[in-house]
């Protein structure tokens, strides 16, 4: 190891989302070299932007953007559009969310890192997560040498073990827990926060920040945005990477108390959002009805795939409030070897799944993709 590198980074495993990058073809010996790979491993929308919107974006690049100029580093117009959407989508008729409550990141991943920098860096705090959950919280904390305290969940409902969480809060010192990260609904398990979990979060003291990641809000339609004005120690994170079909452009946003937002703005890079990304997000918001109109189809597909998987004896399937399904193998199928073999066989046929927590997280794809997934499972398990 190079002697100038931080020794704790040697142990860190880098996050590798699509191992194959955009095409999914990382290794033609294990992945079928098919024209269409069904990429059901990263919870993107299966639907690209409609051609007319891509054309608008291309027009904006050609006619409006000056490639030689830095992008707008204040994001004012985009913040206003996001605030309007946040109020509207949470049914907040008095429009309590303003642009001062919004910070925009290069993906919500950037905001997670900004939150960590603003709260815990430099030995000031640890974070709490309930496993299994979105892996970026722990990964980004580790890159900043921030301790991560992990508690478990119920193996049946995946509700956080609140007794363990409460006792971790009380017994973690030097540094104490400064931030609690939850996903609503959770990834990879698909369960929204229960009222017991929400009440526990409400009971946390002012000096603990509660981060509620609503990456799948448009699918679940459950949000705590309406509570934010009463809770200066809560922050909601959202993304354009899932329901808004903009994963390529990297946009996420935070909604929180203006003082917390102002601090996130201090720690971010000045030009974190390329001009094309700002244009894409503005176009997506202006056409939100059209873009989000694919959600009912995806929810119907989720229902169908859930029922069909439940009909296969090998699978235990959990209900999901998001655009993916979590499933584990059960009975005589329930081993890591079988799981791994199934994973490899589906991959060889062109279906990429996420193997996690002794199970699969399966993104809801286009109807064709979901049909192929089912067929391939049935054929391989036969």
Ligand X SMILES: *Cc1c(COP(=O)(O)O)cnc(C)c1O
192 lies in the binding site for ligand X (CB under 6 A): no
Contacts of 79 (CB under 8 A, 6+ apart): 99, 102, 104
Our CB check for ligand X shows the closer of 177 and 212 to be 212
241 lies in the binding site for ligand X (CB under 6 A): yes
223 lies in the binding site for ligand X (CB under 6 A): no
43 lies in the binding site for ligand X (CB under 6 A): yes
Q: Which of 87, 239, 327, 370 binds ligand X (CB under 6 A)?
A: 239
* Number of residues located near ligand X, criterion CB under 6 A: 14
Least distance CB 141 / ligand X (angstroms): 14
- Two tokens at 38? 């069904």
User: What is the chain's alpha carbon radius of gyration, rounded to the nearest angstrom?
Assistant: 21
188 lies in the binding site for ligand X (CB under 6 A): no
252: helix, coil or strand?
strand
Least distance CB 295 / ligand X (angstroms): 16
Q: Which of 103, 114, 119, 187 binds ligand X (CB under 6 A)?
A: 187
Our CB check for ligand X shows the closer of 241 and 349 to be 241
In 3D space, the residue among 212, 271, 273, 217 whose CA is nearest the CA of residue 244 turns out to be: 217
Of all residues in the shown chain, the one whose CB is closest to ligand X is 107
Q: Of 311-340, which residues contact ligand X (CB under 6 A)?
A: none
Least distance CB 63 / ligand X (angstroms): 28
Question: Judged by CB under 6 A, which stretch of 77-85, 107-115, 272-280, 370-378 contacts ligand X?
Answer: 107-115
Q: Which of 168, 215, 273, 329 binds ligand X (CB under 6 A)?
A: 215
Binding mask 157-186 for ligand X (x = CB under 6 A): --------------------------x---
β-strand partners of 128: 149, 180
- Tokens 């655009």: give the residue: 323
45 lies in the binding site for ligand X (CB under 6 A): no
d(Cα 380, Cα 122) in Å, to the nearest integer? 50
Contact by Cβ (8 Å): 235, 204: no
What's the sign of the alpha-carbon dihedral 216, 218, 224, 229? positive
Our CB check for ligand X shows the closer of 133 and 349 to be 133
Contacts of 174 (CB under 8 A, 6+ apart): none
d(Cα 78, Cα 99) in Å, to the nearest integer? 9
Q: Concatenated DSSP letters for 355-368? A: EETTEEEEE---HH
Q: Of 129-148, which residues contact ligand X (CB under 6 A)?
A: 134
Least distance CB 5 / ligand X (angstroms): 26
Question: Judged by CB under 6 A, which stretch of 5-13, 72-80, 139-147, 236-244 contacts ligand X?
Answer: 236-244
Q: Concatenated DSSP letters for 295-326? A: HHHHHHHHHHHHHHHHTSTTEEE---SSSEEE
Our CB check for ligand X shows the closer of 45 and 349 to be 45
109 lies in the binding site for ligand X (CB under 6 A): yes
Question: Judged by CB under 6 A, which stretch of 53-61, 237-245, 328-336, 365-373 contacts ligand X?
Answer: 237-245
Give the alpha-carbon dihedral of 29, 345, 363, 314, to 10 degrees.
Answer: -170
Q: Which of 38, 41, 197, 213 binds ligand X (CB under 6 A)?
A: 213
Contacts of 257 (CB under 8 A, 6+ apart): 101, 228, 232, 235
Residues in the chain: 382
Our CB check for ligand X shows the closer of 242 and 376 to be 242
Q: Are strands 126-130 and 177-183 parallel, antiparallel or unpaired?
A: parallel
Q: Of 251-280, which residues contact ligand X (CB under 6 A)?
A: 252
- For binding to ligand X (CB under 6 A), which residues are involved? 43, 107-109, 134, 183, 187, 213, 215, 239, 241-242, 247, 252
């Amino acid at each position: 190891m190079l002697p100038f590198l931080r020794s704790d980074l040697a142990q860190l495993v880098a996050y590798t989302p699509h191992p194959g990058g955009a095409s999914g073809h990382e290794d033609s010996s294990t992945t079928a070299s098919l024209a269409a790979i069904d990429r059901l491993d990263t919870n993107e929308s299966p639907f690209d932007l409609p051609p007319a919107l891509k054309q608008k974006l291309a027009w904006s690049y050609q006619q409006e953007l000056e490639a030689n100029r830095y992008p707008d580093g204040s994001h004012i117009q985009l913040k206003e559009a996001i605030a309007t959407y946040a109020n509207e989508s949470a049914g907040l008729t008095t429009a309590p969310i303003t642009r001062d409550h919004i910070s925009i990141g290069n993906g919500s991943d950037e905001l997670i890192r900004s939150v960590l920098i603003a709260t815990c860096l430099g030995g000031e705090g640890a974070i709490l997560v309930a496993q299994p959950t979105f892996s970026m919280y722990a990964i980004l904390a580790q890159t900043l040498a921030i301790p991560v305290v992990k508690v478990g969940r119920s193996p049946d409902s995946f509700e956080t073990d609140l007794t363990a969480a409460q006792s971790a809060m009380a017994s973690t010192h030097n540094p104490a827990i400064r931030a609690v990260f939850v996903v609503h609904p959770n990834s990879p398990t698909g369960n929204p926060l229960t009222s017991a979990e929400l009440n526990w979060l409400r009971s946390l003291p002012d000096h603990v920040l509660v981060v509620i990641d609503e990456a799948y809000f448009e699918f679940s339609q459950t949000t705590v945005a309406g509570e934010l004005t009463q809770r200066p120690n809560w922050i909601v994170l959202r993304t354009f990477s899932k329901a808004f079909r903009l994963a390529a452009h990297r946009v996420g946003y935070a909604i929180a108390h203006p003082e917390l937002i102002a601090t996130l703005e201090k720690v971010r890079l000045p030009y974190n959002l390329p001009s094309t990304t700002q244009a894409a997000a503005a176009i997506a918001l202006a056409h939100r009805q059209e873009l989000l109109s694919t959600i009912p189809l995806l929810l119907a597909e989720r229902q169908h795939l859930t029922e069909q998987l439940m009909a296969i004896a090998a699978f235990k399937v959990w209900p999901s409030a998001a655009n993916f399904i979590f499933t584990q193998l059960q009975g005589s199928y329930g081993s890591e070897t079988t799981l791994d073999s199934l994973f490899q066989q589906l991959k060889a046929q062109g279906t990429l799944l996420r193997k996690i927590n002794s199970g699969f997280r399966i993104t809801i794809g286009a109807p064709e993709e979901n049909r192929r997934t089912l067929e391939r499972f049935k054929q391989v398990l036969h």
